[in-house]
Amino acid sequence: MKIIRTARSMAAWSERLRREGATIGFVPTMGALHDGHRSLIRAARLRCDALVVSIFVNPTQFSPTENVTTYPRPIPRDRALCREEGVDVCFEPTAQAMYPGGFQTIVTVPAVARRWEGEARPHHFVGVATVVTKLFGIVQPHLALFGQKDFQQAALVRQLVNDLNLGVAIQVRPTVRERDGLAMSSRNIYLSADERRIAPLLSQALRTGRRMIEDGMNDVAAIERIMRQTIEQAPTIYVEYLAVCDQDSLEPLSVVTARAVLLGAVRIGSVRLIDNLLVKMPGGKSRVSPHYS
C-alpha cells in the first residue's frame, strides 16, 4: 500500500490509473477507523479496480466549541486496517497542503445543511462540503462511499455532486452497529463505562419509532413523543433532536410518508451521538432512495 501526502502526487497517481482504464473507488475518512469504515472499504474493493482511502482530520468542519487537536489519530492502526483490506493508496495530506495560505473558496449546500446537525454545529457542513469537493478533485474517483450513519452528510454530498456535475457516483452503505444496537462511531471511545451502557437508548428509540410506523401510526408528534420518552428513561442523556423527516430534503414531516427517515441526536456527558433509521411503510414496502443500499 502506498502512502501519499501531497495533492499533486495523489492526482498524478489517479490520472495514470484513469489513463490505463482502471476504475477508482474512494472512501474519505478522518481516520480512527472502525468496522463501519471497514464495510465501506470492502464494498469499494468489490466494485472498483483501485481503492483510495483518505485520512484527513479536516479542521474546517469542527465548530468553534469543538477541539480538533484532541480528535483521535491512531495512524499506525488505521494504516494496518487499510492494508488488511487491500487498499492501494492511503492519502494523508497535511492541513497545510489542503489549506495553503491564500485559500479562499468555500462550498455551501444551504437547504440540506440548514437543520439538525447544521443547527447544532455551525460551519460543520461548509467544512464537509468544501473538503469533499477538494478531495474529489484530487482523487478523481469514479465511485465514493459514505456511511448512512451520517445521513445528513450523505444527503449533502449527493446534492453537491449533482449540483456541481462532479461525475462521481455516490453510494451510501448501511450503518454498522455494535451488538446492542449502538451505531459505530469514532466518538464512541469517549464514552465512560456508565455512558456506554445507556448509549444504545438512541437506537432503541429510533427502532421504537419505526415499529410504531410499521404498525400503521402516522401521527408524527406522537411518534416523536414516544421516542423521546424511551431515551429520557435515563436522566443523564440529553435529547438534542428526534425527528421524522423527508429522506431527500430533510425537512420535518407532519404525517409519515413512504420517503421518511427518523433522525436523532443526543448528548451523554460531553459526547454527542447521532443515528437514524429509514422507514418501512406498512406492508413491508419501503420506498427507500436507490442511493441507500
Asked if 177 and 213 touch (Cβ cutoff 8 Å), the reply is no
Nearest to 115 by CA among 68, 162, 148, 156: 156
Q: Is 269 left (phi over 0), alpha (psi -120 to 50) or beta?
A: left
Distance between CA atoms of 96 and 94, rounded to whole angstroms? 5
Q: Which of 37, 123, 142, 291 is catalytic?
A: 37
Nearest to 243 by CA among 147, 129, 119, 66: 119
- Which one of the spans 24-32, 83-91, 170-178, 219-227 is the region binding ligand PAF (CB under 6 A)? 24-32
- Which one-letter DSSP state was computed for residue 16? H
Cell triple for residue 131? 473538503
| 48 versus 260: smaller Cβ distance to ligand PAF | 48
Q: Are strands 260-268 and 237-246 parallel, antiparallel or unpaired?
A: antiparallel
- Which one of the spans 26-34, 84-92, 95-103, 207-215 is the region binding ligand PAF (CB under 6 A)? 26-34
Asked if 217 and 211 touch (Cβ cutoff 8 Å), the reply is no
Asked if 204 and 230 touch (Cβ cutoff 8 Å), the reply is yes
| 136 versus 241: smaller Cβ distance to ligand PAF | 136
For 52, the 3-state DSSP assignment is: strand
| 131 versus 256: smaller Cβ distance to ligand PAF | 131
Min CB(59)–ligand PAF separation in Å: 10
Residue list 92-151, contact with ligand PAF (CB under 6 A): 128, 131-132, 150
Residue list 58-97, contact with ligand PAF (CB under 6 A): 58, 61
| 34 versus 287: smaller Cβ distance to ligand PAF | 34
Residue list 205-244, contact with ligand PAF (CB under 6 A): none
The answer to whether 37 is a known catalytic residue is yes
Q: Which of 7, 24, 26, 28 binds ligand PAF (CB under 6 A)?
A: 28
Min CB(143)–ligand PAF separation in Å: 15
Nearest to 222 by CA among 201, 232, 208, 238: 208
- Which one of the spans 27-35, 43-51, 82-90, 172-180 is the region binding ligand PAF (CB under 6 A)? 27-35
Name residue 36's amino acid: G
| 40 versus 182: smaller Cβ distance to ligand PAF | 40
The catalytic site residues sit at 37
Binding site for ligand PAF (CB under 6 A): 28-30, 58, 61, 128, 131-132, 150, 153
